[in-house]
A and B are shown apart, each in its own frame.
Chain A
Amino acid sequence: MLNRLLASILCSMATVVAASAADRVEVSIGYLGPARLGQTLSLVEQPSDNDGISGARLAIEDNNTTGKFQNQHFTLEERRLEESDDAAVAATGLVNRGIGFIVTDLRADALLRAADAVKGRNVILLNAGASDDRLREEDCRGNVIHVAPTRSMLADGLAQYLIWKQWKRWLLVVGSHDRDRLFADALRRAATRFGARIVQERVFEDTGGARRTDSGVALIQRQIPVFSQQAPAYDVLVAADESEVFAAHLPYRIWDPRPVAGSAGLVPKSWDAAQDQWGAIQLQNRFLKMNSRRMSALDMQAWTAVRMIGEAASRTASGDPKKLLDFMKGRDFSIAAFKGRRLTLRDWNLQLRQPILLVDGRMVVSVSPQEGFLHQFSELDTLGLDRPETRCRLH
């Protein structure tokens, strides 16, 4: 038959090339995280001891499935830091042992100490845990990539949806800790930016005490309505409570029948266990099978960080940190992270552009950027501080 004849001619023309026999590339990735996790108000939201690192482990497995076709091999080395441990010492120790990439779940100051301690060495830090805007602005570093979204990205993602819903009058309730105030700053900026009005602000003082008590719920039921009464007319209560002191108590208890958003109710996040769009179900299934629990936002941020290293290694056929960083900053880099579009790095501060999910604890309600929020370069740059506003000067 003609087909067969043609096929055999074609086949004889084909030079059969076996999988490239290039030298094996070993990529060692360090992980620096806290030894102890904070307490949440809700028992079901209490993070697992392996929160974050489990995402990194899954990405190592994914990278190795890919790597076996290119003779690349990825390993993970984990360090858990007590409050008294110095992140700079831990990071230096990893680099001295030949590690070229460190995924971090560290507070802002610890991350900066670690980054500055290994400055000039051939190592990249990937910040998976800290959402502080200052790390991408006045305190940005040329050796730190930020995978976690910033507070301003989270606040903008939420604000766009509230504006789309025409819930433009916000009652802002802020906790009394520094990080609550930083999230409130981001929410105020988002309100101004997208046309919401904060009708009043209230501070919820943390007076100490246990997060869980046997009969606490009766007290809370009286306390929250009193706290929230006599507010000016508003559409939505927006809470800034990263410290997990009060926000989870607000829904269904506040004086006015209004929805709650921010740190409770409708929450902006990089990821959620309920996310199943854009092929995410495959990732969720892999994660569940490996860890016997659902995937958190921190797990996803660590997964994405390790996958970014794997993707760059795969494209450049290299494991050299400097080469991979240059590639990740360039136009040809993007990472697919089950959010319906390619994620890329902002070259001015090394922040990963990403959609923000809005979740209610059971479902993904919406994904920002919302339709109609336009941008001259990337709609993802409607989330967070944009290039013209940046205070970052990378050297």
Chain B
Amino acid sequence: MSYRWLPTGLVVMLLLTAPANAFIAYVSNEKSNTVSVIDTGTWTVTGTIKVGQRPRGIGITRDGKFVLVAVGDDNTIEMIDTATQQVAGTLPSGPDPELFVQDAAGKILYVANENDNTVTVIDIERRARLGEVGVGVEPEGMAISPDGKILINTSETTNMAHFIDTATRQVVANVLVDARPRYAEFKRDGSELWVSSEIGGTVSVIDPARRAVTTKIEFAIPGLRKEAIQPVGFVITADARTAFVALGPANRIAVVDAVSHQVTKYLLVGQRVWHIAITPDEKYLLATNGLTNDISVIDVAALKVIKTIQVGELPWGIAISRQ
């Protein structure tokens, strides 16, 4: 998620109205059909927004005006107005939208539709569908290269990262990864693309230029069987030196040296940890724990879990806004 693109005036305005280093986190609760709103200054839930059925993928528009939530069972993406904290409109995705990514300008949204093997291209301002790209079976993870030229989609049953040219909207390359790829992200400098494989139990590191897997990050936790280690969401810090990988039913977040690709530490969090987000100042990491219905807060400098916040049922995705 890039905050560099926020207009400077808006950032100044936001900084003036917000207490120092306080952000707002939005958590999609898959089973409750709600979004929990968390103030990172007080670490309290300040609101709960009713949304459509089965909210999962969640993100904030670049202008900060809307929180976008993919409500899979309603086959649409809802737009929550951040000012009123109410659903104010929808975007026309395909059936069962799951994860999405915006272009750098915040004008175009690319949505993975899990049910029909397509990625939908949407004009956010006009709320109109611009086109579709055919991909593999059960599309899920979405990422966009820092130069905006390549869109990545991962498909869970096809087990590939599809490289899509954003200009022509054609698939130009496919890279096989381990079973059930869930999430994709580029390093900010574009040097590496990472893809997590839930069932394969690895994170593939892909060279975006060669379009080939260069290494795989593996995880091993004493006392846990390999099958229980299921990487899903992850975050790479802006300096591309550290990454945090949520390991699902292993109930842990792996701290990874993003240069050597080695795990340096495992942090015990709640049950079935799914997606994670980092505050814009990179001081705190927030992780959704699906089975314990809470959020773990991690102090990034100390690498310690400092707080647990109760949210709705089956928290799934998380996005953090400046205000």
Contact = CB atoms under 8 A, between A and B. Distances in A.
Interface of A: 3-4, 6-8, 10-11, 13-19, 62, 65-66, 69-70, 279, 282, 285-286, 307, 311, 314-315, 334-336, 340-342, 378-380
**B contact face: mostly helix, strand, loop, or mixed:** loop
Contact of B156 (A10, A279, A340): A279
Interface in B131-187: 136-138, 145-149, 155-160, 162, 171-174, 176, 179-180
- Interface SS of A by simple majority: helix
B180 A336 contact: yes
A341 B199 contact: yes
Given A66-B137, A69-B171, A307-B157, 7 more contacts: A10-B208, A11-B147, A279-B180, A285-B96, A286-B115, A311-B179, A336-B159
A70 B225 contact: no
Contact of A342 (B146, B156, B158, B200): B200
7 contacts: A6-B146, A10-B209, A11-B149, A13-B209, A66-B160, A336-B157, A342-B200
Contacts of A4: 147
B138 A282 contact: yes
Contacts of A16: 172
Given A69-B162, A342-B199, A379-B227, A3 B176 contact: no
B74 interface: no
B209 A334 contact: no
A79 to B, nearest CB: 27
A336 B115 contact: no
Nearest to A317: B176
Contacts of A70: 174
A8 B138 contact: no
A6 B190 contact: yes
A334 B227 CA distance: 11
A11 B146 CA distance: 10
Contacts of A69: 136, 158, 160, 162, 171, 174
B163 to A, nearest CB: 9
A307 B138 CA distance: 14
A7 to B, nearest CB: 3
Interface of B: 4, 96, 114-115, 117, 136-138, 145-149, 155-160, 162, 171-174, 176, 179-180, 189-191, 198-201, 208-211, 225, 227-228, 230, 249
A347 B146 CA distance: 45
Contacts of B227: 341-342, 378-380
B189 A6 contact: yes
- Determine which residue in A8, A16, A70 has the highest number of CB atoms from chain B within 10 A of its CB, and name it: A16
Contacts of B173: 17-19
A378 B225 contact: yes
B129 to A, nearest CB: 21
A10 B147 contact: yes
Given A70-B174, A282-B115, A3 B157 contact: no
Contact of B209 (A7, A15, A314): A15
Contacts of B158: 62, 65-66, 69, 314
B196 to A, nearest CB: 13
Interface centre among B114, B137, B159 (most CB of A within 10 A): B137
Nearest to A10: B190
Nearest to A279: B156
Contacts of B162: 69
A66 B172 contact: no
Instruction: For the complex of A and B, list the 7 residue pairs with the smallest distance between their C-beta atoms, beginning with the closest.
Output: A7-B147, A66-B158, A341-B227, A14-B209, A69-B174, A336-B199, A336-B179
B136 A336 contact: no
B176 A315 contact: yes
Contacts of A315: 176
Contacts of A335: 179
A106 B276 CA distance: 48
A336 B158 CA distance: 10
Contacts of A379: 225, 227
Given A7-B190, A18-B172, A66 B157 contact: yes
A15 B173 CA distance: 11
Nearest to A4: B147
Contacts of A66: 136-137, 155, 157-160
B159 A314 contact: yes
A336 B146 contact: no
A16 B159 CA distance: 21
Nearest to A343: B199
Contacts of B176: 314-315
A10 B145 CA distance: 10
Contacts of B228: 341
Nearest to B249: A340
Contacts of B157: 62, 66, 307, 336
A315 B178 CA distance: 10
B138 A279 contact: yes
A355 to B, nearest CB: 10
Contact of B114 (A7, A11, A17, A282): A282
